[in-house]
Amino acid sequence: MPENKAVIYEGPGKVEVESTEYPSFELKEGPGVNPLNVGRKTPHGVILKVAATNICGSDQHMVRGRTTAPQGLALGHEITGEVVEVGRDVEFIKEGDLVSVPFNIACGRCRNCKEGKTGVCLNVNPDRPGSAYGYVDMGGWTGGQADYVLVPYADWNLLKFPDKERALDKILDLTMLSDIFPTGFHGCVSAGVGPGSTVYIAGAGPVGLSAATSAFLLGAAVVIVGDLNQDRLAQARSFGCETVDVSQADPKDQIEQILGVPEVDCAVDAVGFEARGHGREAQTERPATVLNTVMDVTRAGGAVGIPGLYVTGDPGAADEAAREGSLSLRIGLGWAKSLSFATGQCPVMRYHRQLMMAILHDRVQIAKNVNATVLPLEDAPRGYADFDKGAARKFVLDPHGIVRAHMPQPRQPA
Per-residue pLDDT, averaged over 225-251, amounts to 96
Question: Which domain-ending residue is among 313, 343, 373?
Answer: 343
Both 326 and 303 in one domain: the answer is yes
Question: Which domain-ending residue is among 290, 323, 343?
Answer: 343
Q: Considering its fold, how many domains does the chain have in total?
A: 2
Cβ-proximal residues to 34 (8 Å cutoff; 6+ apart), any chain: 125, 126, 127, 139, 140
Q: Is the pLDDT of residue 412 over 50?
A: no
Q: Is the pLDDT of residue 413 over 60?
A: no
pLDDT bucket at 409, cuts 50 / 70 / 90: low
Does 385 or 311 have the greater pLDDT score?
385
Q: Strand, coil or helix: what is 270?
A: coil
Q: Over pLDDT 90: what percentage of the chain? A: 85
Q: Residue 286: its pLDDT value, please?
A: 83
Q: With beta carbons less than 8 A apart as the criterion, state whether 144 and 101 touch.
A: yes
Both 361 and 335 in one domain: the answer is no
Q: Is the pLDDT of residue 113 over 50?
A: yes
Both 18 and 154 in one domain: the answer is yes
Beta strands in 172-241 (DSSP E): 198-202, 222-227
Both 64 and 164 in one domain: the answer is yes
Cβ-proximal residues to 248 (8 Å cutoff; 6+ apart), any chain: 254, 279
* CB atoms inside a 10 Å sphere around CB 29: 10
Could you give phi then psi for residue 208, rounded to 5 degrees?
-60, -40
CATH code for position 15: 3.90.180.10
pLDDT bucket at 328, cuts 50 / 70 / 90: confident
Question: Which domain-ending residue is among 318, 343, 368?
Answer: 343
Of 96, 184, 163, 106, the residue nearest 139 (C-alpha): 106
What distance in Å separates the CA atoms of residue 155 and residue 87, rounded to the nearest whole number? Answer: 10
In DSSP terms, 7 is beta-bridged to 17
22-36, 149-163, 271-285: the lowest-pLDDT one: 271-285
End-to-end CA distance of the chain: 46
Both 324 and 360 in one domain: the answer is no
- pLDDT tens profile 151-209: 999 999 999 999 999 999 999 999 999 999 999 999 999 999 999 999 999 999 999 99
* CB atoms inside a 10 Å sphere around CB 310: 19
* CB atoms inside a 10 Å sphere around CB 162: 12
Both 290 and 370 in one domain: the answer is no
Q: Strand, coil or helix: what is 95?
A: coil
- pLDDT tens profile 47-64: 999 999 999 999 999 999
CATH code for position 193: 3.40.50.720
What CA dihedral angle connects 238, 308, 183 and 313, to 10 degrees? 140
Q: Residue 273: its pLDDT value, please?
A: 85
What distance in Å separates the CA atoms of residue 277 and residue 284, rounded to the nearest whole number? Answer: 6
Q: Residue 410: its pLDDT value, please?
A: 55
Residue 410 lies in a domain: no
- What is the span of the domain harbouring residue 124? 5-178+347-405
